[in-house]
Amino acid sequence: MTKLSVNINKIALVRNARGGGRPDLVRAATAIERFGADGITVHPRPDGRHIRPDDVHALRRVLSTELNIEGNPTEAFVSLVLEAAPAQVTLVPDAPDALTSNAGWNTLAHRDFLSGIAARFRERGIRVSIFVDPDPAMVAGAAACGADRVELYTEAYARRYAADREAAVAPYVAAAEEARRRGLGLNAGHDLSLENLRYYLERIPWTDEVSIGHALVCDAWIYGMENTVALYRRQL
């Protein structure tokens, strides 16, 4: 079954908006694990508006499932990941002032850079995933960079799903088939939700993991976190 990694950035964002320690990020993450998630994802950014380096270390000490740290591999980010040694790192080319991730890597243009970064993480036994648009050429490029997996950026799928779900998913099927041909593991994330997740996985059932944060946390305000995690697992 496809694994569910819950991105807890929005929980940290609420905490930071008021200051102090509520909600307690570690308590929230361990509860999410207990409710059935297969992993926790965090995406620290340079401005510290949600996840902070001390959060990463605190989570690493207590989590019993996989920790996935995603972000732009600046030297500070690389150092943080090497110190924390999570199960997985996901390389995302977001600008320092980006509101949210909005594009995948051009793995052909940045091959030398990504290859060097991937090698540093793999030497520490950290699984490397590269965030890419649903383009078979970019998937092939990620394989050439030494990635273990790719994460397909699913914003375009989510945006087009209601109008024409078959057209929306078609580029992702092609990219996922290329990943399978290249022997790459396959992740997906960005704007996946209770409405569009099941169909995506019906078409690409070999997806290893989905990373879901914003929609899941929004749903939890209505349904409660324990019930929401169960609802998402049901879609898997």
Q: Which residues are catalytic?
A: 43, 70, 190
| Residue 15 contacts residue 210 (beta carbons within 8 Å) | no
CA distances from 212 to 106, 113, 166, 180, 182 (A): 23, 27, 21, 22, 25
Please state the φ and ψ torsions of residue 204, each to the nearest 5 degrees: -130, 70
Helix or strand (DSSP H, E) at 124: none
Q: Which two tokens stand for residue 70?
A: 């995603």
Q: Are strands 66-71 and 127-132 parallel, antiparallel or unpaired?
A: unpaired
Beta strands in the chain (DSSP E): 3-7, 39-42, 66-71, 88-91, 127-132, 149-153, 185-189, 209-212
Q: What is the C-alpha separation between 93 and 105, in angstroms, rounded?
A: 6
Q: Which residues contact 85 (CB under 8 A, 6 or more apart)?
A: 60, 124, 125, 126
d(CA 80, CA 84): 6
